[in-house]
Amino acid sequence: MTDTLKIADKIFSSRLFTGTGKFSSSQKMRDAIIASESELVTVALKRVEINNESDDILIHLNESHINLLPNTSGVRTAKEAVFAAELAREALGTNWIKLEIHPDPRYLLPDPIETLAAAEELVKKGFVVMPYIHADPVLCKRLEDVGVQCVMPLGAPIGSNKGIVAKDFLEIIIEQSTVPVIVDAGIGAPSHAAYAMELGADAVLVNTAIAVSQNPVEMGIAFKMAVQAGRMAYNAKLAPVKQHAEASSPLTSFLNE
């Protein structure tokens, strides 16, 4: 049985999603993404000329196996996000949208209130909505209720490379979710990605760690392998972690006497 991931009507063989920002050139971005075998690549609307067919980023992503996932980075409200999503749908011919509403331009932390409002409206308008959110289990359920096709909780502040610092909350989200859970933001090393997958995440999204690496192609491959390893380990069921060593002088041995 192949272990594929289905979101809305699309089936992905790769559980590694990637981004397009921060690379030292569009060619390097392309090479790294192809090496990573990622099939879903997010691109900020504000960085591309969506109506220009020769836009430098877009032409470098023109591959049949790469699905573009436009994102709304830069918007501050639900209203702006809905407008941006409609622009993207019209220009790029996709109804998929990575919903990012972070009114705080410093830590780029998502606004849960605006995100929920925008998600509800976008679902009604026929979008496949992938919301970037805090690792907030209740918010994830509320988003499911309005019909999003997956949730994208953060592992750590975006771009921080700190790894899965929100572990306890991510575990609750994974346990409760009826839609795929994609850990987005904060993943700084392949080991972090593998760890998220071992916890049961359905996929991860990695950008900074690949783009800013000295060798983005090698790092893309490393992430691909880490995600596969983590997924395989999850499917194979990890051996339980022993919380305590077994005492040499058991307290209950008298029961057997």
Q: How many CB atoms lie within 10 A of CB 243?
A: 5
176 is an interface residue for other proteins by CB under 8 A:
no
Distances from the Cα of 75 to the Cαs of 71, 163, 186, 230, 254, in angstroms?
Answer: 10, 26, 20, 34, 67
Minimum distance from CB of 31 to other proteins (Å)?
13
Stretch that binds other proteins, among 40-48, 139-147, 227-235, 237-245 (CB under 8 A): 40-48
> Which of 101, 150 has the CB closer to other proteins?
101
Marked catalytic residue, from 46, 98, 125, 242: 98
Among candidate residues 48, 123, 50, the one with its CA nearest the CA of residue 81: 123
243 DSSP 8-state letter: S
Q: Which of 3, 4, 6, 24 binds other proteins (CB under 8 A)?
A: 24
d(Cα 196, Cα 16) in Å, to the nearest integer?
Answer: 11
Please state the closest distance from residue 46 (CB atom) to other proteins, in A: 5
Tell me how far, at minimum, the Cβ of 202 lies from other proteins, in Å: 27
Question: Taking CA 32 as the corner, what is the angle to CA 30 and CA 35, rounded to the nearest 5 degrees?
Answer: 105
CB of 25 to other proteins, least distance (A): 5
Cβ neighbours of residue 255 closer than 8 Å, sequence gap 6 or more: none
- Does position 32 interact with other proteins (CB under 8 A)? The reply is no
Question: Considering beta carbons, is residue 15 or 89 the nearer one to other proteins?
Answer: 89
Q: Which two tokens stand for residue 224?
A: 């691909």
- State the nearest-atom distance from the C-beta of 99 to other proteins, in Å: 15
Q: Report the site for other proteins in 76-105 (rule: CB under 8 A).
A: 76, 79-80, 83-84, 87, 103-105
Helix axes 78-92, 112-124, angle to 10 degrees: 40
Per CB under 8 A, the segment of 70-78, 138-146, 222-230, 247-255 that binds other proteins is: 70-78
Decide if residue 75 touches other proteins (CB under 8 A): yes
Q: Does 37 bind other proteins (CB under 8 A)?
A: no
Residue 159 binding other proteins, by CB under 8 A: yes
Q: How many residues does the chain have?
A: 257
CB distance 75 to 81 below 8 Å: yes
Backbone angles phi, psi at 68, to 5 degrees: -85, 135
User: Residue 16: how many CA atoms within 13 Å on its side-chain side?
Assistant: 30
| Using rule CB under 8 A, residue 211 touches other proteins | yes
Does 10 participate in catalysis according to the annotation? Answer: no
Active site residues: 98
Could you list the residues that contact other proteins (CB under 8 A)?
21-26, 45-49, 74-76, 79-80, 83-84, 87, 103-107, 159-161, 208, 211-212
